Every structure is written in structure tokens, then in C-alpha cells.
Structure 1
Amino acid sequence: MIMDAPICLIDNHADGQLQVNPRALDILQSINQNVVVVSIVGLYRTGKSYLMNKLAGQKKGFSLGSTIQSHTKGIWMWCVPHPQKPKHTLVLLDTEGLGDVEKGDAKNDSWIFALAVLLSSTFVYNSVGTINQYALEQLHYVSELTELIKVKSKANSSQKEDDDIEDECQFVRYFPNFVWVVRDFTLELKIDGQVVSERQYLEHSLALKSGVSKKVMEYNLPRQCIQNFFPARNCFVFVRPASGKELNEIESLPDSALDPQFIQQTHKFCDHVFQTAEVKKVKGGHRITGRMFSTLVKSYVDTIMSGAVPCLENAVLSMATIENEAAVKEALGHYMTQLNELVKFPVEVRELSDLHGKCEGEALKIFMDRSFKDEDGHYQKRLMEEVAKYYSVLVQKNEEVSLEKCRLLLRELSATLEENLREGVYAQPGGYDKYVQERGRVVNLFQSKPNKGVKAQEALDEFLVSKRGEADAILKADKNLSEAEKKLADEKERAALMEQEKKAADERNLQAEQLLKDQERSHQENMAQMQAKMVEEAENIRKEAEKALESKLKLQEELIEKGFQDKATMMQNEIANLRSEVNESKKKDHILGIVRSVGEGLVHACKIVRIFKSPKKIK
């Protein structure tokens, strides 16, 4: 869906209550593309909205405001096509200004900050002036995140301190990249007389102090949080765009009226975001669509409003349940619709089997593409059970249509035979030979007709058995035949009926054998696609762990370089655990073991139970 303007995603009421806007959720629900989510936070009246409008490729959109009052309340959303990633949607989230004196609710600010972190893949912090101690003190919200965000669901609250430490270690795996934007920057980018990059300026500003005093710990806390929580960091500094009244009219001014350096810096910032902002992922490395993002938003806000703390694991499980249910429904719908369109009853066994296999494979692919965290194969098993059930219905319908068509055809072809019976043609001497000749003509014509389906031989067997009594009566009454000839004719009748019964039995066995082949093919297809899915998910987890490992190693190296050997040593366990996880995710034997275990539960789901009649005994 193309949005001409932003819309409120999360409304922040005057009483501090957060509420998700249903219209915004509807928009997200309609987006099936992967989303790249960029959020911006900062003190109110610092020009956040201008940058978000530029990312949207527009001069106007998010409200800039021109007074000391904050215009943006809650979190506003603008979904636009990604300018550099085809088939991706860029979701821009503009948050209300932090520290608004009219609001007077610091806790509410903390939740807005936490939601921006939870929802984005790139998190932009916007401030004015320089990155100094005051600026970092204003960013105290980052040090509160351990109280506002949990990674895993905790069953034992007595382990709270240990849990908080564990969450801190895990944040770097799931948090967005961090970009600090400094507005109205007037200093030279120099450190000890050497020109530095904006990124070096940020890292220098985040450098820790040695010591264990309360003052040093307070100084280090926000810096440590930024270093530990965010996997990648960058910085952009902007000169003042204009002066005086012009600044209040910036959205209506042409670029020529703004400082050229500001324009250049804006382009540089936007290019960086477009090129480096990743698709939003959740725990496990799962890439999410707009539809899934809507579930995530609602889950987090509902949790906050219930008085609980948002948990990444619970949010993912909740989203997985919804997506997996929908995946089963979508895949089954595709299977049923495609077969209904392709199958023209009656159809031969092999053709129906091939169509079933084709549609089942497509349905399974649809399910695999949409589902995730179906770790015990519960939803895949459900899909296979429903597919097998529907295929069984189609097999039965194909038999019924074939049988009815064959019966009708035999009635039409045997019309002359029935008329002759009524007129007594076969009640005369030599009548049996005439009867056999006419019945043989009916059989030959029937056998020559195409497209009779899977019950042709059974229908013919049924027809000949139904004629057994009248044939026997005509034979016995025929005065042209001797007793020896009648006995020989009776034996031929029996032999013919047994031969036809064998053909009908062969026809049934062919169907049974094909159904067994269908079951085996279905099982193999399920196992193959499940293995591919698990390999993909293991790869996502590996990349997730490798990204965190890379960040931790880089931080450890910086700590050692700056003389914080004790802090670097404390990171060793985290690094060892991440290395172990990366190595474990590379083991194919582990994945195959899970596939085999889950695959055992799919065997029954792929079965199609059919009962075929036993051959009839010829009397």
C-alpha cells in the first residue's frame, strides 16, 4: 500500500496510556514485503521529523512544528517503497520528543524509547550541539533498557539479577544498529590536533574512564550500554541549516536557501541509512514482513499496557503462532484451489497423482516460506493431514464419477440388448449365441471408449455379474445346444467372469500401489523441504551469533587497547559461548538429527487410508 502521508501508529494519550491505531495495523497487514524499519528519537524540538521526511523522499509529511510545543505525540509511521532495495518497504517511525515539559511523565518517555529500539532495525538518536556529558546524560533511557526489555521468558523471579545480566549480554544480538545524529554542530572534527571521522568522534565520546568511584560509574554507564547493546554504531554531524525565521520555514524552503554543507550532510546520512539499514529481524534471525510487523507492534504495546515487560522470546512465539496458523490456511487453500481448477473428473490414477504431487509441493513451499519456529513440526503435520484428507476425498470422488460415468455408458451401449430381452429375441432356439454376440459387442464398444476413469474394469465386472443370471437362463432354455455344449458354454462364462474380476482387482491394486507411492513421495518432499528450512534457520542463527561475536570481539579489543583489561576479561565467557553457538550451528549432523526426529511424526500425517474391496467369488 502506498502512503501519501504518515499516520499515527501508537497513540500516546494524555494519561500516559499507549494505544495502537487499528488503521495503521491494517496498512501494515497489507504489506507482504520484508520491511526495513528506521526509528528516530531525541529531545523534543530538535528537528527529528525533517530527517524522516528526507528519508521518505519528501519535504513535508511528518509534522515539523515551528513553536516550542512538541507536535508529534506517540509514534508516527510512514511506509514507502525502499529507494534502493526492490520489493522491500521502508517503514519510518518518528517518535514524540523526549523530555517534553508538558507531559511530565519520564516513565512514558522510557517506554517510547524502548519501543523505538524494539521495533527498528536502525535506531537514530538525534541531539543538538555536541556529544558531551550533558548529551549522554539526556540519553539515560538507554541505561534503563534492562528494566524495560527482556530477551527470554523468566520462570524464576528469584534469579532476577542473573537474568538481567544475561539479557544485557544478549541485547547485542537483537538490537538495531545505532546512529547518533548531532544537529547544529559548530566544532571542528579534531582530536589532539588530528582530523577524525564522525564515527571516530562518536567512539572517542564513548570512551570509558578508569576508576570505581560513583562519579566514574555514572559517567561510564550510558557509554557502556551503547557499546554493549548496539552491534554497529555510526555518527553524522550537521551544521545549522539556516538562520533566524528561515529555520521555522525549513520545509517550504528550496534547497538553494539552505546551507550547502547541510544539504550535503543530509544526502550522506540518507545514503548511509538506505545502504546499511537491514530488514527487520526477530530472535532467531527471522526476516519479517509488514504483516508480521503489525503483530509485533500490537504484542509489545499490549504487554506494556498490561503492566508487564516486553519479552523478545514471547513476542516471537506469539507472532509465530499467528503466522504458522495463517501459513497452514494459505498453503491448504492453494492446494485445494489449484487441484479444483486442474482436475477434470474422471481422471486416470497417474494423472491425479501427478497433479496432487505438483500442488502438494507448491503448498508445502508456501507453508515453508511463511512459517517459522515450527520446531516440533506441529503445523507442518497439520498441513499434511489436511492435504492427505482432501486428496483422499478427491480420490473417492474420482472413483465415484468414474463409476457413474461407466454405468451410464454401459446402460446406453446395452440398450439394444435390453430391448431384445424384452421382445424375447433370445428366448428362441439359437438365442444364446445371439445374446453372447450382442453382449460381446457391448463389452468391446465399452472397452474402446476413452476417458472412463479408474473404475472402468470394476464397472464392467459389475455389469457382467449382473448379467450372469439372465445369461444362465437363456443358455439353459436354448434348445439348439446339447447338454455338453451348455456345460462348455457355462465354463466359458465362469472363466470370462473370473478374468474380468482379475482385471478389476488389478485396477484396484494399481490404485493402492499408487497411493502408497504418493505417501512415500509426500514424506520425502516433506523431509526435503523441512531439512532445507532447518538449514536456513540454522544459518540465520549462525549469522545472528556471528554478528554478536564480531561486535563483542571488537569491543574487547578496544577495551584492551585502552587499558581496561579487567572489563575485557569479563567478556571472555560471552565470547566463548557465542563461538560455541556458531560452531554448533555449522554441524549438519545436528540438523539432520532434528529433521529425522520431527520427520517421524510426519509419517502418519502423509498417509492416505483407503479400503479396497476383496475380489468377489464367482458362483
Structure 2
Amino acid sequence: GKSYLMNSLAGKKRGFSLGSTVQSHTKGIWMWCVPHPQRPDHTLLLLDTEGLGDVGEGNTKNDTWIFALAVLLSSALVYNSKGTIDQYAMEQLHFVSELTEHIKVKVQAGDDSEEDTEFVRFFPSFVWAVRDFTLELKIEGQPVTEDQYLEHALALKPGSSKKVMEYNLPRQCLRRFFPTRKCFVFVQPALWQEIGQLDSLPDSALDPQFLQQSRRFCDYIFQHSRGKTVKGGILVTGQRFSSLVQSYVDTIRSGQVPCLDNAVTAMAAIENEAAVKEALARYTAGMGAQQLPAELRELSEAHGRCEGDALALFMRRSFKDEEQVFQKQLVAGITERYGNILAENEAVSRETCRALLQELSAAMQQKLSAGDYSQPGGYQVYDRDQNQLVMNFRAKPNKGVKAEEALEQFLASKKAEAEAVLKADNLLTEAEKHVAEEKQRAEMLEQQRKAAEEKQLQTEQLMKDQERSHQENVRQLEAKVAAELASAKEEAERALQSKLEEQQAMLQKGFTEKARLMEEEISGLRREIDSASKSNFLSKIFETITEGLRTVGNVADYMRSRKQGGKGSSHTSKTKTRK
């Protein structure tokens, strides 16, 4: 039965429990995740469902919800029946004709044709597994394939009587809802008395034809089952699958009908919020490896790398980020963290420079205290020592971004001291003292100019950072939107192909009116594919979002607001290494 086939897909003899009595063995839906045997970057997620029509339940609603959940959660749905595909087997599939009552695609549902078109986009492929098959695959004396056998069983009858409509309904739903259909027939695997121990029997004890059929079945599932997607062609990861299950089950328990749009929106909110946190953590970890104090160019390069990595991570994990709400949160978070790092770098640079100047000026302070500069000619010695101090300070590496500003403040603090030494030097004439004073003023102005230039260069670098950040955000967003459009287009093309094939089948069987009614769906899908292919669609998107991203990513504004808010004084006042 089902559990044996699922264990075969997992490559195991045991896993999902096999029932060997008349009592239904599997209850609810059991899940098993194993590495995909043919796709290294995929997980094979197997869902073994409770059998339909369990007399122990005494409740058809349970069957309906089990079936609906299986459809919603899978990318390939395997329906397992016994004997032949006859009218009784079709009647057991009445759940298919009730799916429109138990699954909604949109919050505001349209007409039935709109729902049909939407269903075929995200419904799984349908595989009918017929076990204990004993008949010859022949129709009207001619051999047929398993797939032809299935399509023959799904053929509609002409007419509009109640009996004909009841006959056609499950078949019509299968044809309309499921984009691809496949059939496998299996002979009895072993002797009747051994079937109860099927999971313990060696392959040598099983019918060779059954083993061959099982291998063909597994190979088909591995090779042709697509990755699970939801509306829009969005791939479902393990985390997203967990959100979907929770959303659907909670909705069913509340007595409501699961809505795909609502489930995807809820899933997107959870995933996008987590994507922002994960991306910010990646950025913070990357920038945390920078040693402070650092030159702004070094921090800028690191910021560019770390922001690009964080954005790439966010783009991979996020989806359905309407109006880029979560991307803007990420940009704002990165801007804030970069601003904090810049402020911390400034604070560490100031303290580093202050400590260095204090160290370099210690000898001058000793001379000053000893009166060495109070002797005739002392100012010349003082001026020479101070110039040497400035040269030594500038020659010292790794001072950070506040070197010239710190030197300016240091020299300004020594202005009164220098004037006192100059006045006390009676070896100099008044004219020479005047020249020395002018020289002091010129040097101070030059140092102020260098400090202002240092600040201006840093401001320019921040503006470059902002523009680079904006361009990187737009570049990655553009690539993501283009990829999402391509996925949505591919999804629409699959739906179109399915509808065209069904329309052609209707025409061949003489159902001209049914084929004509499908034309509106087909035209709508063609218009959607055509609009997704037009390049101006992307440009319209970016006209509405690029300015918003630019605004939230203004580092210079953040730094100014930070200083005005008095936060600059909160940084530690000792040199540190960020690890």
C-alpha cells in the first residue's frame, strides 16, 4: 500500500509503519525528511496520509481535510487504489470535486473559471498507483500504456443528464485541476499469506515484476517531481513549509477554509522578519571583525562587503516583500549599525590620539617644569620640540579618523603655554616675537584647515558609501524581482500549457462548447505572460521604491541625528580591538 511505496522512496525497508490487518494503520499525516537521492540541494519530504474512507473515523470531513492538506502541501500527489480504475475507484475520489469548497486561492474569490486557472498553477502533479493489478493493458483489443489507460478512464461522456454530470464531475476536476497526470500499475508483490510481512521480506521473495514497477515509480518521482512552490512560483524551504502547515491546520481547526493568499502572506511575514534578523546578524558579525581605530576607507570597504553579503542573504530568504517594507528595515538597520561603528571608531580614534599626544608631549612637560624653556633662547627650543612632536605624531600609524582634529585641539590647548614661553624669552626682540606670533597663528590656521579637510573628506566618503549602498540595494532588488517575475511567468506558462492540452483533448472528443469556454482562461494567461515579458514593467517598479531606499540609507543624516541626540558621549573612552 501507500506506506510501502513511501518507504521505497526513502530507500528504506522500514520507516512508515505498514498495516497488516483490516484496521487502518496510518492516522493523520506522517512526515519523513530524507536527503533527495538525485538532487544534492533538495530534501525529499514524504507525507504518508491516513487512508480515505476509514470506518473508524465515521466522519467524511476528516477525509476531506486530509485530502485537501495533501494537495496543499505536496508537489506530487500519489493516489493509491486497488484492482482497476473503475467507476467505484472514481467515486472514491469525490473529494476532488469538493476541493473548491475547501481551498480558496484568493481572499476575494472570483468566479469558478478564475479559481480553476489558479488551482492548476499550484496543484501538485497527480500520480495514480493501482496496486494488485491483474488485467491486460488493452483497450478495444489494442495494447495501451499505463498513462493511456488512465486518460481513457478519465474520458468524459457527452450529454447533460444528471447521471452523466455525476459521472463526469470527478473526472473533469482531475483534468482541470492537476497540471500533469501519470499512472503506474503494480502486480501483487508476494503470495497472499506473505503480504502481511512485506517490510521484512527480502527482495528475492518479491515478484520481480513488482520490484521493476516499484523502481520505475521511484525513478519517476525523483526525476519529474518539481520543488514545492506556492503562488508566484516561490520555492518552499523547510522553514516555509513549517509556516504553511501551521497556517493551514490553524485555519481548519478554526472552522475556516484555508486560503492560499493568506497562508503565503503569513509565511512571508515570518520569513521576511527572520531574514532581516539573520542579515543584520551577518552584517554585525562581519563588521565586528574590524580592528579599531581604522581609517574611514578601510571601514568603508568592509561596510561595502558586509552589506553586500547581508543583502544577498536577505534576498535569498525573503519573498513577497510588498513595497520593500522589510528591505527598508534592513537598510535602516545596517545604516544604524554602520553609524554606530563610525561613531565608535571616532571615539576610539580620539582616545588613541589623545593618549599618543600625551605620551609624545611628556618630555616637553618635563622640560617646562624644569624651567628649560624659561631661559634666554628657550622659545626656539620649545618651537623645535613642538614641531618634532607634530612630525612624530603624524608618522605614527593607526591613529584613525580624528588625527588632525585631535592635533588641532592639542595645539590649541598649548597656545597659552607657547605664548608664555615666547614672552619670557628676553633674548628675542619685540620684532622677532611679533614674527613668531604670526608664525604661530599661521600654523594654527593651517592645522585648522587640515582638520576641516579631514572632516570634509570623511563627509564625502559617507556620501559615496550612501550612493554605493543605494546602488547595491537596487541592483540586488532588480535581480530578485526579475527572478521572481521569471518564476511567475514559468508558473503561468505551465498553467497555459495544461489548459491548451486540455482544450485540445476536449476538441478531439467533440466537447466543442467546453473547449470554447476555456478560451477566456487561456487568453488571460497569455496576457499575463506577455505583460511579465515587457521590460517597462521593471522600470515602473523601481520608480516607486528607489527613493524610499535612498532615504532610509542616509548614513550622514543618521550620524548628525546621533550627535544632536547626545549619544556620542556614550562610547567607551579606551582603545579597543573589535573581534
- The TM-score bracket by the shorter chain reads over 0.9
Question: Higher mean Cα deviation, 383-392 or 250-259?
Answer: 250-259
Equivalent residues in 2 for 1:178-197 (5 A)?
178-197=126-145
Aligned-partner SS, 1:131: coil
1:240 to 188, 204, 220: 188
Match status 1:607 vs 2:561:
no
TM-aligned CA deviation for residue 377 of structure 1: 0.6
CA contact (8 A) 1:231 1:548 kept: yes
Match status 1:130 vs 2:84:
yes
TM-aligned CA deviation for residue 375 of structure 1: 2.4
Aligned-partner SS, 1:377: helix
CA distance in 2, matches of 1:281, 1:82: 17
CA distance in 2, matches of 1:546, 1:380: 29
1:423 to 364, 370, 379: 370
Aligned-partner SS, 1:376: helix
- Give the length in aligned residue pairs: 560
CA distance in 1, matches of 2:391, 2:452: 20
Structure 1 equivalent of residue 574 of structure 2: none
Equivalent residues in 2 for 1:220-369 (5 A)?
220-341=168-289, 343-369=290-316
2:36 to 54, 79, 82: 82
1:414 to 361, 368, 384: 361
CA distance in 2, matches of 1:198, 1:591: 45
Deviation readout 1:123-155 (Å, 9 max, x if unpaired): 00000011111110011010000000000012x
CA contact (8 A) 1:531 1:592 kept: no
Q: Which AA in structure 2 matches 1:89?
A: T
Aligned-partner SS, 2:182: strand
Q: TM-score, normalised by structure 1?
A: 0.89
Structure 2 equivalent of residue 372 of structure 1: 319
CA contact (8 A) 2:120 2:176 kept: yes
CA distance in 2, matches of 1:411, 1:305: 72
CA distance in 2, matches of 1:296, 1:479: 90
2:99 to 145, 149, 154: 145
Equivalent residues in 2 for 1:193-232 (5 A)?
193-232=141-180
CA distance in 2, matches of 1:352, 1:244: 75
Gaps in structure 2 of 5+ consecutive residues: 564-579
Deviation readout 1:359-403 (Å, 9 max, x if unpaired): 000000000000000120110001000101110111111111111
CA contact (8 A) 1:185 1:238 kept: yes
CA contact (8 A) 1:151 1:171 kept: yes
Match status 1:502 vs 2:449:
yes
Structure 1 equivalent of residue 459 of structure 2: 512
Q: Which AA in structure 2 matches 1:262?
A: F
CA distance in 1, matches of 2:140, 2:22: 37
CA contact (8 A) 2:117 2:495 kept: no
CA distance in 2, matches of 1:63, 1:411: 78
CA contact (8 A) 2:81 2:89 kept: yes
CA contact (8 A) 2:275 2:313 kept: yes
Question: Higher mean Cα deviation, 143-152 or 184-193?
Answer: 184-193
Match status 1:479 vs 2:433:
no
Aligned-partner SS, 1:127: strand
CA distance in 2, matches of 1:60, 1:485: 102
Deviation readout 1:418-442 (Å, 9 max, x if unpaired): 1111122212221111111111121
Structure 1 equivalent of residue 49 of structure 2: 95
TM-aligned CA deviation for residue 164 of structure 1: 4.2
CA contact (8 A) 2:499 2:522 kept: yes
Deviation readout 1:337-369 (Å, 9 max, x if unpaired): 11101x100111111100000000000000000
TM-aligned CA deviation for residue 570 of structure 1: 0.1
Q: Which AA in structure 2 matches 1:149?
A: I
TM-aligned CA deviation for residue 87 of structure 1: 2.0
Aligned-partner SS, 2:323: coil
CA distance in 1, matches of 2:192, 2:356: 94
Structure 2 equivalent of residue 563 of structure 1: 510
CA distance in 2, matches of 1:329, 1:170: 33
Structure 2 equivalent of residue 63 of structure 1: 17
TM-aligned CA deviation for residue 244 of structure 1: 2.2
Q: Which AA in structure 2 matches 1:477?
A: A
TM-aligned CA deviation for residue 445 of structure 1: 1.1
CA contact (8 A) 2:33 2:45 kept: yes
CA distance in 1, matches of 2:181, 2:549: 45
CA distance in 1, matches of 2:552, 2:111: 40
CA contact (8 A) 1:530 1:595 kept: no
Structure 2 equivalent of residue 577 of structure 1: 524
Structure 1 equivalent of residue 75 of structure 2: 121
Aligned-partner SS, 1:91: strand
Deviation readout 1:155-201 (Å, 9 max, x if unpaired): xxxxx7x5444222310001000000111111111112111110011
TM-aligned CA deviation for residue 495 of structure 1: 0.2
CA distance in 2, matches of 1:401, 1:287: 46
Question: Higher mean Cα deviation, 587-596 or 395-404?
Answer: 587-596
CA contact (8 A) 1:121 1:277 kept: yes
Equivalent residues in 2 for 1:98-113 (5 A)?
98-113=52-67
Q: Which AA in structure 2 matches 1:245?
A: Q
CA contact (8 A) 1:281 1:288 kept: yes
Q: Which AA in structure 2 matches 1:510?
A: L
Q: Which AA in structure 1 matches 2:150?
A: L
Q: Which AA in structure 1 matches 2:509?
A: K
Match status 1:49 vs 2:3:
yes
TM-aligned CA deviation for residue 444 of structure 1: 1.3
Deviation readout 1:44-65 (Å, 9 max, x if unpaired): xxx1111111111111111111
CA distance in 2, matches of 1:496, 1:205: 98
Q: Which AA in structure 2 matches 1:107?
A: K
Aligned-partner SS, 1:591: helix
Gaps in structure 1 of 5+ consecutive residues: 1-46, 155-159, 614-619
CA distance in 1, matches of 2:44, 2:234: 17
Percent identity between matched residues is 60
CA contact (8 A) 2:67 2:95 kept: yes
Structure 2 equivalent of residue 463 of structure 1: 410
Structure 2 equivalent of residue 19 of structure 1: none
Q: TM-score, normalised by structure 2?
A: 0.95
Q: Which AA in structure 2 matches 1:459?
A: A
Question: Higher mean Cα deviation, 491-500 or 445-454?
Answer: 445-454
Q: Select the structure with the greater relative contact order (CA < 8 A; seq sep ≥ 6).
A: 2
CA distance in 2, matches of 1:352, 1:248: 69
Q: Which AA in structure 2 matches 1:425?
A: D
Question: Higher mean Cα deviation, 422-431 or 350-359?
Answer: 422-431
CA distance in 1, matches of 2:192, 2:440: 111
CA contact (8 A) 2:113 2:521 kept: no
